[in-house]
Amino acid sequence: MSKLARSEQHSNSVLARGLKEFLLFTLAGEPYAVELGRVREIVSPPLLTRVPRAASEVMGVCSVRGLLVTVIDLRRKIRVQQSAATRSSRILLTRTAEDEVVGLFVDEVRHVVRLEGSEIESAPVVLGGDVPDHVLGIGRTGDEVIVVLNLEGMVG
């Protein structure tokens, strides 16, 4: 299990400059990001138990130090190709609006990026009118184009 260490002070100074931190990860080889503050913990996938008759994006349930967590396959949710779990697969733990901790399965966690609010283009501007709930916007670092996901639209 790996954990990203973040210090309170650090994020404060970042916020002061109007920057927001995002966690960059890949799904089917493409870069995606979520707001770092929403991620409680990053863990290697524990043994998953499938839940019969659950929605298709539910991969199963697992125990993270005694806490029962439902794991959702982000790839299925945003309809990209799914490959078998590898050594770099991770689960991001996040707390939903309904105060439940759920896990989001991703192929690989890359690093943290800082984006100015103005650097994130709103999705409709780029993609046209019909944007799924889970896309918050499009960000850029260097040449890379990142889809910033909206966790509220993702779970629950």
- Binding site residues, other proteins, CB under 8 A: 46-47, 49-54, 58, 61-63, 66, 68-70, 72, 96, 98, 100-102, 155-156
> Closer to other proteins at the Cβ: 96 or 150?
96
N- to C-terminal Cα distance for the chain? 26
State in angstroms the smallest separation of the CB of 113 from other proteins.
Answer: 28
Q: How far is the CB of 12 from other proteins (least distance, A)?
A: 26
Q: Least CB distance from residue 89 to other proteins, whole Å?
A: 18
Complex with other proteins: residue 62 or 123, whichever CB lies closer: 62
Structure-token pair, residue 16: 């002061």
β 101-106/67-73 pair status: parallel
Count of Cβ atoms closer than 10 Å to residue 23 Cβ: 21
DSSP readout, 83-140? ----TT-EEEEEE-TTS-EEEEEESEEEEEEEEEGGGSEEHHHHH-S---TTEEEEEE
Q: Which is nearer to other proteins, 12 or 56 (CB)?
A: 56
Distance CA 31, CA 41 (A): 19
Query: For other proteins, which is the closer residue by CB, 5 or 97?
Result: 97
How far apart are CB 68 and other proteins at their closest, in Å?
5
